[in-house]
């Protein structure tokens, strides 16, 4: 039996985004092991038929000695497991997993970039130098003739010096969604335009931009409210402090609800999905879920967001950090409910054409088969 090893930072991240890939691999007859820091999300991973191998590593840490220790421990796991393919998901697991795979002499590697994080969001000299270093590592020391790259948009490979049309590059429609879990629903009744943000509460997600835009729109007379769903990520330096979220909740028409496990229920009760991202996205899952539910997206002109949302068709793409532009868009949408419904219907059709779990499973199954045959 051929074996596939996923390497990912956290069990919750794998459970929320990548279970379809695990199910596809198990359905192929592969022995699948997921190597991650295990906390509270082992059950859904094990339910796919995959095994779990715990690996303690703090993803926020930039300590080189800690990274070297993680590489050493991971290499020992890979030598014991002897996978035929190592599938590394997101940047840090790619760097650590690529180095460990080299030590364990595993040539078949998949480097899946789910976004570039702050390296994609920032355009200063430090970020450019960091991207150049990452590009050098991925195209040089960490690359073999059997390495394949997976991206969720066509901008990210270009930023790293790779050809999005290359035979070693696969572009996926994000992590894929299950249309049955997110059926297209009629818009809620009522005169108020209800906007929701479902995301980790991070400054990089532009949550503050949506908050200020709703404030401006309301002061301008628009009947609009905002609901925030999500928690700060304590391992992310861009986490918004809870006291800030609570202060926003005290503003008229704005409420932070914390984490939700019912995204479909949120979209049933709202008209518009907001994501004012400052960049670094792959293809945000929240945009796929809201679109499948028949909700238009109000988002920014950054990779991932602009590759999915079609301006004026199923959403609006606005400049990064442009609070007045978001406020004007909210005022316009609040006064044109027919447009809101029309774009929401277009979004529901869009996501079902290439962005479903079945689409993702078919693509990764083909990738695994071609790699095992090489």
pLDDT over 90, % of the chain = 87
Question: Which alpha helices (DSSP H) does 88-169 contain, by range?
Answer: 91-103, 118-121, 125-139, 155-159
pTM score, whole prediction: 0.91
Domain range annotation of the chain: 3-176+357-373, 193-351
- Average pLDDT rounded to a whole number, residues 228-251: 93
pLDDT at 61: 57
pLDDT tens digits for 247-292?
Answer: 999 999 999 999 999 999 999 999 999 999 999 999 999 999 999 9
Domain 3-176+357-373 annotated CATH 3.40.50.360: no
Tens digits of residue pLDDT in 291-307: 999 999 999 999 999 99
How far apart (Å, rounded) are the C-alpha atoms in residues 85 and 150? Answer: 14
CATH superfamily of the domain spanning 193-351:
Glycogen Phosphorylase B; (3.40.50.2000)
pLDDT in tens, 202-224: 999 999 999 999 999 999 999 99
Q: Indicate if 193-351 has the same CATH topology as 3-176+357-373.
A: yes
Per DSSP, 233 falls in state -
Average pLDDT, whole number, for the chain? 94
Whether 367 has a pLDDT exceeding 90, the answer reads: yes
pLDDT at 230 over 70: yes
SS3 359: helix
- pLDDT greater than 80 at residue 77: yes
Has residue 14 got a pLDDT over 90? yes
| Contact indicator for 205, 275 with CB cutoff of 8 Å | yes
Q: How many CA atoms lie within 13 A of 368 on its CB side?
A: 28
**Across residues 88-99, what is the average pLDDT?**
95
Residues 96, 42: Cα–Cα separation, whole Å: 22
The closest alpha carbon to 234, from 60, 64, 30, 92, belongs to 60
Q: Please, is 45 exposed, middle or buried when counting C-beta atoms within 10 Å of its C-beta (0-12, 13-18, 19+)? A: buried
């Amino acid at each position: 039996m051929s074996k596939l090893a996923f390497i990912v930072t956290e069990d919750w991240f794998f459970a929320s985004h990548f279970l379809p890939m695990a199910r596809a691999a198990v359905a192929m007859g592969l022995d699948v092991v997921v190597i991650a820091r295990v906390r509270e999300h082992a059950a859904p991973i094990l339910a796919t038929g995959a095994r779990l191998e715990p690996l303690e590593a703090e993803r926020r840490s930039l300590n080189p000695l800690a990274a070297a220790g993680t590489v050493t421990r991971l290499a020992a796991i890979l030598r014991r497991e002897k996978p035929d393919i190592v599938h590394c998901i997101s940047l840090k697991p790619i760097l650590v997993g690529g180095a460990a795979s080299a030590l364990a002499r595993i040539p078949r590697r998949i480097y899946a970039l789910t976004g570039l994080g702050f390296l994609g969001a920032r355009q200063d000299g430090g970020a450019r130098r960091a991207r150049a270093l990452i590009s050098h590592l991925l195209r040089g020391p960490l690359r073999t003739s059997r390495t394949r790259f997976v991206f969720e948009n066509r901008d990210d490979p270009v930023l790293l010096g790779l050809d999005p049309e290359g035979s070693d590059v696969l572009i996926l429609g994000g992590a894929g969604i299950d249309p049955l879990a997110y059926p297209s629903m009629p818009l809620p009744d009522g005169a108020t335009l209800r906007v929701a943000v479902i995301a980790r509460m991070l400054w990089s997600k532009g949550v503050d931009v949506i908050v200020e835009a709703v404030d401006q729109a309301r002061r301008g007379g628009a009947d609009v409210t905002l609901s925030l769903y999500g928690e700060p990520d304590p391992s992310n330096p861009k986490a918004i402090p809870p006291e800030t979220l609570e202060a926003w909740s005290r503003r008229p028409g704005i409420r932070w609800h914390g984490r939700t496990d019912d995204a479909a229920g949120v979209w049933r009760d709202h008209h518009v999905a907001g994501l004012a991202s400052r960049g670094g996205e792959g293809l945000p899952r929240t945009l796929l879920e809201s679109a499948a539910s028949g909700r238009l997206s109000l988002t920014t002109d950054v990779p991932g967001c602009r590759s999915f949302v079609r301006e004026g068709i199923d959403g609006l793409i606005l400049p990064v950090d442009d609070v007045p532009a978001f406020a004007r868009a909210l005022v316009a949408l609040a006064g044109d409910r027919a447009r809101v419904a029309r774009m929401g219907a277009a979004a529901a059709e869009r996501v079902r054409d290439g962005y479903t779990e079945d689409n993702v499973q078919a693509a990764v199954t083909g990738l695994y088969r071609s790699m095992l045959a090489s």
